Structure 1
Amino acid sequence: MSPLSDMLRNLRWDDYRYYHRSRINQMLHLISAFIFLGCYALLFKDPAVAGLVGWLAMLTRQTGHFFFEPSGYDNVNKVSNEYKEAVKVGYNQTRKIVLLIIWGLAPFALYVFPLFGMFDPPVGRLDFIRQVGTVWLVIGIGGGLFRMIQLFVTRDGQTGLVWVFKVLTDPLHNVALYYKSPLALLRGELIDTSIADAGWGGDEAETAQRLT
């Protein structure tokens, strides 16, 4: 297996075992994945609507992280939540909060400064909503590029590029990984107990004390 494939596999494994133990979170990611796939389909046809749909998907999955994912000590992986947050390659909770604040303030900023240097004055409510969608799309793409550049500086170019590829393909991977989560929830399984026996990240991924 090539170094890039190995890095991608380990990133996905760490993402799964550290940050997606809750079956509710997994189900919300499954829903979010289908919404994101719809966003991808809309991206080149109607970017403004794609921006609105994309952030609906983002809020769906972040609801799972903030409200349903266990935040205490992880007895399966033998690490604390603080460790997970410190080593996360992508957006940890702190970075997500900053990004969500920017997202939430964008419509108000657009209302106060309606042109933003990019738009004609909105002719109605629907026109304003479409402008918000465009701004949200720019924020989403900008957030990804910003983190990629950060990884270029703090890690290396390979890590940044592999992380971007992982993020872009997460919807497809989430569908393949979490499609059984709704059935597990119906059985009353709130935590994915199969993580302890999965181990598809390879031998190195079994060692918790490494940067992910």
Structure 2
Amino acid sequence: MTTKILIVDDHKIVRQGLRSMLTKESDFEVVGECRNGLEAVKMSSRLQAEVIIMDISMPYLNGIEATQQIIKRNPKTRVLAMSMHENKKIIGRILKSGASGYILKNCDFSELTKAIRTLIKDKIYIDPSVINNVIEDYKDLLMIQDTSTLTTLSSREKEVFQLLTEGKSIKMIAHILLISPKTAETHRKNLMDKLGVDNLADLIKLGLKEELTPLEV
């Protein structure tokens, strides 16, 4: 039997490269590609992906929030986070969101296939290059209380928050999320009230502090 894989990355060349290499493996089947977290949330269930290779820094919805929503809908889905970040905080957040593995984008292809096959066996895989950064307190990273101000926001409010941080207008946010401008404006007001900010500039500053925007180029 083949393992159904969904590739999520905002760079087309990365998606195409991964697809080209993964399809050469007889036990892998690439069932789709997504450009951002919003697409991944929508397509993961429809495509019945078993393993999702998930970038972290993406527009519209980052990989951390996308993973959380996907795992909430289907806990059996294995998410393999793939990023350039070696920061312990970032790794901890993606694992806490429900990812089963973490690898760096500069890893060898053999490392990627090893990670995927490890996840299929219901095991966790951490890139050897960063494991020393997290192994000593790995259990703590999964158990710590999330003190981020974002914990008070709903999934939709987090989506609107990221899009506002990216500089999107209310009209554009409504178009992206398939909601009315009035609803988008209501979400904006609600999240500003919850976060205790009075203006859009302070909201964007907070979004940047929470690293909601894509950090990779």
State TM-score, norm by structure 1: 0.30
Q: Which has the higher contact order (CA 8 A, sep 6+)?
A: 1
Greater helix fraction, Structure 1 or Structure 2: 1
TM-score, with normalisation over the residues of structure 2?
Answer: 0.30
The structure with more radius of gyration: 1
